[in-house]
Amino acid sequence: MKNPFRYFNSSPEIIRLTVMMYVRYPLSLRQVEDLLLERGIDICHETVRFWWNRFGPMFAAEIRKRRVHHQSYSNWRWHLDEVFVRINGETHYLWRAVDHEGEVLEVFATKAAGSPGCASVF
């Protein structure tokens, strides 16, 4: 297999970091450019876009391949978080289902039973 990074001046680690920052977090191309500039990596936002178009599908295929091989139903876990929050002065439960990779599966809010100040249930 040929090296897909062979004609690029930047290291594969920098390219991977740049693409993953753009894909994983809700950042614009210019925000990724600014964050990398703060870390001493001077690239243009158009370079971020080019790398994302060029290497994004390759990285996504690698991630999917790893998830399929390492994911069995016995290893897949999730847990439920419960927290009290105030919305417009009323106390609500905020329920959040999170899997073992930290991915949020579902978020649900319900009104808390009892008085608005019943946060002493903890």
Instruction: Summarize pLDDT for 22-56 with one digit per residue, the tens.
Output: 988 889 999 999 999 999 999 999 999 999 999 99
**Percentage of residues in the chain with pLDDT exceeding 70?**
85
pTM over 0.75: no
Q: What is the pLDDT of residue 100?
A: 79
Phi, psi for residue 93 in degrees, rounded to 5: -90, 135
Q: What is the pLDDT of residue 119?
A: 45
Q: Is 84 strand, coil or helix?
A: strand
Q: Is 122 strand, coil or helix?
A: coil
